[in-house]
């Protein structure tokens, strides 16, 4: 489904993001949850999006061009990273909010939540925002390779419950094992083909 993927550009100012009519699939979530790793997994490249074991690596709005411009992946900075200064936090929040206010081409949003954790206050705010704005979204429960089958089932239910959404809307993923990849690519294909 994804034949090629290249880095397009990074933006600090959301008002300068691309304005052509190209659908955007957006990856959001807490710092270190695995957004950049998931993008790499989906495009079959190890280093397209930069990743790090230290939270707070992605600091800009990064656009990746998929299949020669049929759609974009947008990698956003993580929210809720405790160890950055207040000013830095404000800057990131502004960037994320600005992006959602100004992008006219959001096709769907993937909200990533670490499968070992309950959704944070920021996750709830994000999901409520998407719900209110009628923006299609999916929850991705990441790093499933860290849990057993039984734990995965329990955490998936817990996340769905906390967000008041159906369990089918929570996709279990592991970028290390490629788990959930097909399901996510199928969702993207469905949206693109419509
Ligand atoms: N075990 C495991 N580790 C993962 C998985 N996905 C990501 N990681 C690790 O989690 C850490 C953070 O991954 P990133 O992809 O950089 O996370 P991010 O959400 O982009 O982080 P920020 O850009 O800082 O917001 C890295 O050490 C990854 O190797 C996964 O599926 N399984
Ligand atoms: Mg990142």
- Give the N- to C-terminal CA distance of the chain in Å, as an integer: 15
Q: What pLDDT does residue 183 have?
A: 98
Q: Helices 121-132 and 149-163 sit at what angle, rounded to 10 degrees?
A: 60
Domains of the chain: 5-193 (3.40.50.300)
Report pLDDT for 59: 81
Ordered per-residue pLDDT tens for the chain, 194 residues: 999 999 999 999 999 999 999 999 999 999 999 999 999 999 999 999 999 888 777 789 999 999 999 999 999 988 887 777 888 888 888 899 999 999 999 999 999 999 999 999 999 999 999 999 999 999 999 999 999 999 999 999 999 999 999 999 999 999 999 999 999 999 999 999 98
**According to the model, what pLDDT value does residue 29 have?**
95
Which region holds residue 80: left if phi is over 0, alpha if psi is between -120 and 50, else beta?
left
pLDDT confidence of residue 54: 82
3-state secondary structure of 72: strand
* Residues ≥6 apart with Cβ < 8 Å to 57: 36, 50, 51
Q: Is the CB of 58 under 6 A from ligand 1?
A: yes
Centroid of ligand 1 to alpha carbon of 21 (angstroms): 30
Question: What's the predicted TM-score (pTM) here?
Answer: 0.96
Q: Which atom of ligand 1 is nearest to the CA of 175?
A: 31
Which pLDDT score is estimated for 2? 95
Q: Is 179 in the pocket of ligand 1 (CB under 6 A)?
A: no
- Assess whether the C-beta atom of 60 lies below 6 angstroms from ligand 1: no
Place of tokens 């397009």: 8
pLDDT given at position 58: 76
């Amino acid at each position: 489904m994804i034949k090629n993927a290249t880095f397009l550009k990074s933006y600090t100012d959301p008002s300068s993001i691309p304005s052509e009519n190209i659908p955007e699939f957006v990856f959001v979530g807490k710092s270190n949850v695995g957004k950049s790793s998931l993008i790499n997994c989906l495009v079959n490249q190890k280093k397209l999006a930069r990743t790090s074991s230290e939270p707070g690596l992605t600091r800009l709005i990064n656009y990746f061009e998929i299949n020669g411009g049929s759609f974009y992946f947008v990698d956003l900075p993580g929210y809720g990273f405790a160890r950055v200064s207040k000013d830095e936090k404000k800057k990131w929040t502004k960037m994320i909010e600005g992006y959602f206010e100004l992008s006219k081409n959001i096709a769907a949003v993937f909200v990533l939540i670490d499968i070992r954790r309950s959704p944070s206050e920021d996750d709830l705010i994000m999901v409520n925002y998407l719900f209110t704005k009628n923006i299609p979204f999916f929850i991705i429960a990441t790093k499933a390779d860290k849990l057993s089958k039984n734990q995965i089932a329990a955490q998936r239910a817990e996340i769905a419950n906390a967000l008041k959404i159906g369990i089918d809307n929570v996709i279990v993923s592991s970028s290390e094992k490629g788990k959930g990849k097909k399901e996510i690519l199928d969702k993207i294909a469905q949206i693109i083909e419509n």
